Structure 1
Amino acid sequence: MKLQDQLDDFRNKFESGQLPFKPTQAQLDTIKRATNELVASGQADRALKAGDIAPEFKLPDSDGNIVSSRDLLADGPLVVSFYRGVWCPYCNIELKALEATRSEFEARGAQLVAISPQTAPNSRKSQRDNGLGFPILSDQDSKIAEAFGIRYSLPADLIELYKGFGNDLPAINNDSSWVLPMPARYVIGTDGVIAYTEVNPDYTRRPDPSELLPVLDRLQSATAA
């Protein structure tokens, strides 16, 4: 099943009250309004795109080891996935899909990392619960997300809703500002140039990981030539 089919299935079950947590119509309206406002803001269109130079980063992984994008790119292309956090079921579905495709990325000489604003213990939980074999890096205060143009602030009504859901983002992220990255995926070539980008202001919509394979094939062919 394609990633989007899995996400649609979860969303339909959530919105129709088939999951243990049954949202009210008012809660669903708040979520949809916040998503529509972010889409309408045009921020996703202003984020970094293919052809732009990717910001360099040095971020800690779930064990506290510093991971450098420059070091990773010395070994081949880099697939970077920004996600909201361990608390987001849509993100967890996507992480599992990326893990299922990881061997195909690696067969094309690429490495995969995920970046989230959450703390290291929450990244370890992400890895453990989703059976991940790739690093999750902690982007404190979403500074790298901001450099890519994908950091945004949650509106007040959504903050109150998340508090009611038990999603204590200040504790999860060790950041009181209630900011998140829009879910986004990048392929960065060894020259530091972004070869592919997909930014999703609607967090329920995400491209299938298989869409990255032709991009990695082109990069591999260009390197061989």
Structure 2
Amino acid sequence: MASLAQALNEFKHSYEKSAPAEILETLSRNVSLLQEQRTLRASPQISEAMPNGTLYDNNGLAVSLHSLLQRPLIITFFRGGWCPYCMLELQAWEQLIKEQPLMPNLIAVSGEIPSFTKQVQKDNALSFPVLIDPSFTVMEKFGLVYEVNDALKQVLLKWGVDLTERTARKEFALPIPATYIVDTSGTVQYVFIEEDYTSRAEPEDVLAVYNSLK
């Protein structure tokens, strides 16, 4: 099976061949700005406690993060169903899960409303839960949320992505993609946060850490 990194790079290179230069410049500038602001964010690190919070499933049922810790927990935060890099990541997780003798305790989390998360689950035939953080409250506790500047907002609108329609927030905001592993005591054991949204944690590497905790 090809690595997720390979799939992401192939898509990125294909997109960059045809995308307008001004859009590529805006996307690159936004990544650089986020990287410069990295030290301003308070994201939980290895050996620190995971913030608790409430997520919701596609039927509106509330799910406490701490209630999911009967086993070690993998949490992957993604931007939304409109993001092809996010979809490649979720597809890679699904492919890996199919090869495992035991289903890992994995959730994917976004701020999108149920109509969009249901579509993500259906289109990618995901066997793991896609949970909703409707007001980005949990993602803010993880230090992942940023407000989209006007230049990036205009790019998203050109793509037909109106974040105020896809989430419960009134302003354009996004989470930085991230992956965490939390043990049964609620302690963070693995962190991957990357402002460059085209780079993600490799599922096989994450699963190796997860399996070492069992």
Q: What TM-score does the superposition give when structure 2 sets the normalisation length?
A: 0.94
TM superposition shift of 1:9:
0.4
Does residue 40 in structure 1 map to residue 41 in structure 2?
Answer: no
One-letter amino acid of the counterpart of residue 80, structure 2: G
1:190 to 172, 184, 192: 184
Does residue 209 in structure 1 map to residue 203 in structure 2?
Answer: yes
TM superposition shift of 1:104:
6.2
TM superposition shift of 1:6:
0.3
Q: Would you say the 8 A contact 1:116–1:137 is kept in 2? A: yes
Q: Would you say the 8 A contact 2:54–2:133 is kept in 1? A: no
1:99 to 94, 100, 115: 94
Q: Secondary structure at the match of 2:6?
A: helix
Call closer, same or farther: CA 1:12–1:150 in 2, change over 3 Å: same
Q: Secondary structure at the match of 1:201?
A: coil
What is residue 5 of structure 1 aligned with on the other side? 6
How far apart in 1 are the matches of 2:100 and 2:184? 14
TM superposition shift of 1:100:
1.6
Call closer, same or farther: CA 1:178–1:49 in 2, change over 3 Å: same
Q: Would you say the 8 A contact 2:182–2:189 is kept in 1? A: yes
How far apart in 1 are the matches of 2:85 and 2:105? 22
| Structure 1 unaligned spans of 5+ | 18-22, 221-225
Q: Would you say the 8 A contact 2:74–2:210 is kept in 1? A: no
What is residue 55 of structure 2 aligned with on the other side? 59
How far apart in 2 are the matches of 1:39 and 1:193? 25
Does residue 27 in structure 1 map to residue 23 in structure 2?
Answer: yes
Aligned-pair Cα RMSD in Å:
1.7
Q: Secondary structure at the match of 1:16?
A: helix
What is residue 20 of structure 1 aligned with on the other side? none
How far apart in 2 are the matches of 1:44 and 1:80? 22
- Number of aligned residue pairs: 213
Does residue 126 in structure 1 map to residue 127 in structure 2?
Answer: no
What is residue 223 of structure 1 aligned with on the other side? none
What is residue 83 of structure 2 aligned with on the other side? 88
Q: Would you say the 8 A contact 2:42–2:142 is kept in 1? A: no
Call closer, same or farther: CA 1:195–1:49 in 2, change over 3 Å: same
How far apart in 1 are the matches of 2:51 and 2:99? 25
Call closer, same or farther: CA 1:43–1:27 in 2, change over 3 Å: same
Q: Would you say the 8 A contact 1:84–1:116 is kept in 2? A: yes
Q: What TM-score does the superposition give when structure 1 sets the normalisation length?
A: 0.89
| Structure 2 unaligned spans of 5+ | none
How far apart in 2 are the matches of 1:208 and 1:56? 25
How far apart in 2 are the matches of 1:138 and 1:49? 23
One-letter amino acid of the counterpart of residue 171, structure 2: S
TM superposition shift of 1:99:
1.2
Q: Secondary structure at the match of 1:140?
A: coil
Aligned-pair identity in percent equals 31
Q: Would you say the 8 A contact 1:44–1:150 is kept in 2? A: no
One-letter amino acid of the counterpart of residue 109, structure 2: I
Higher helix share: 1
